[in-house]
Amino acid sequence: MDTTVDLDMFAARVERPDDASRRAAEQRRQELEQPHGGLGRLEELGNWLASVQGASPVRPVSAPKVLLFAGDHGIAELGVSRLSPAGGTAGRVHAVLDGTAPVARLARRYGAGVRVVDVAVDAPVEEFPEDVTAHRVRRGSGRIDRMDAITREEATAAFAVGTALADEEAELGTDLVLLGDLGVGSTTVAAVLVGALCGTDAAAVCGRGSGIDDRIWMVKCAAIRDSLRRARPVLGDQLALLAATGGADFAAITGFLLQAAVRRLPVVLDGVVSAACALIAQRVAFRAPEWWRAAVLTGEPALAKAYDRLTLTPLHEQDIRMGEGVGATLALPLLQAASDTLAEELFEPALPSAPRRPRPLPTAAELLGKL
């Protein structure tokens, strides 16, 4: 198996979003007869969409996709998650696939597709459909407080899975990715990566995750502390870091984020897992965060630190804590509204003898009716 990957290539290939389209969108908005700043942060979102689409007028967000990377983590053996035991990710995958999970219900409501990618779920491969397991790298991962999560070869393979999926989604015509994860123990792993990358101690990044009590919080904090000792020596090598204290799902998400930026595919980050991967990707290509938006703060201290380092501001404040793509999916109607307020159909064609006049803005009820 090839164990090399040219990360420097991403730094060269990731370009900034189109600033000319951003300026054109702002100019276009000034043609509307409305108070300056009347649409609040929707105006900035509309300008961002214009820049990542490289187009003005902005195209409506019409082909969004919820993309969930799934994997189990050996650190869950310590009982750091209240809701599920180690190896419990399979049940979450089934809930998404059968349509009962909150993210599946919300995606249906807002017209988004849903795709689950099993990268390292600790379950028999025949338990899920073939299209879900087609990219599996391994079954589960090591306990990162005392051993590597995966090998470097597996980290490279998982990273390649992510880049391939970014290419695939771009070719399919997906115009916005709502990025999430499914994994027991994943917030502990994410806290380790954020703590290592931001130079903080375990207590500063250890959150309550699934709602753990004080006793389990102390167990989790100790696990993060021990894992940080293993992460710091390999901070200069992103793939080594993902192998030592990440996991196959984290490596795949990192690869996806980088290649999505290369392919000019905008992404909404869901929670601390995608944010931790975004921090790693930022170290590879400093322009990449301009292609992303943050969905929500979840109460995880590591997430707040990651967003601060990435200079990203959450799109909404609904206190969503469960992860699994829910926060990112709830940001979708905001982005759809931002694109709709600048779409071509808002304007009547200008008459030769008269100035161009905007049509009335749609009401809130009309906007919701399009979702």
Confidence of residue 302 (pLDDT cuts 50, 70, 90): very high
Residue 191: phi and psi, rounded to 5, are -60, -40
Q: 349: which DSSP letter? A: P
Q: What is the pLDDT of residue 319?
A: 78
Which of 92, 63, 71 is closest to 177 using CA atoms? 63
Taking the complete model, does pTM exceed 0.85, yes or no?
A: yes
pLDDT per residue over 51-93, tens digit each?
999 988 889 999 999 999 999 999 999 888 766 665 689 999 9
Q: Are 136 and 120 in contact (CB under 8 A)?
A: yes
Here the tokens at position 17 are: 């979003």
pLDDT per residue over 209-258, tens digit each?
767 788 889 999 999 999 999 999 999 999 999 999 999 999 999 999 99
Q: Is 1 exposed, middle or buried (0-12, 13-18, 19+ CB in 10 A)?
A: exposed
pLDDT per residue over 89-122, tens digit each?
999 999 999 999 999 999 999 999 999 999 999 9
Confidence of residue 1 (pLDDT cuts 50, 70, 90): very low
Give CA–CA dist 278/276, Å, rounded: 5
The SS3 assignment for 227 reads: helix
The SS3 assignment for 365 reads: helix
Give the number of other Cβ atoms within 10 Å of residue 7's Cβ.
19
Give CA–CA dist 151/141, Å, rounded: 10
Q: Is the dihedral of CA 292, 105, 120, 3 positive or negative?
A: negative
Q: What is the pLDDT of residue 362?
A: 44
User: Is 6 a residue whose pLDDT tops 60?
Assistant: yes
Q: What is the pLDDT of residue 84?
A: 63
Active site residues: 324
Q: Is the peptide bond before 57 cis (omega within 30 degrees of 0)?
A: yes
| From 197-201, 297-301, 327-331, the region with the lowest mean pLDDT | 297-301
pLDDT per residue over 20-36, tens digit each?
999 998 887 777 666 66
Q: Is the dihedral of CA 206, 82, 227, 267 positive or negative?
A: negative
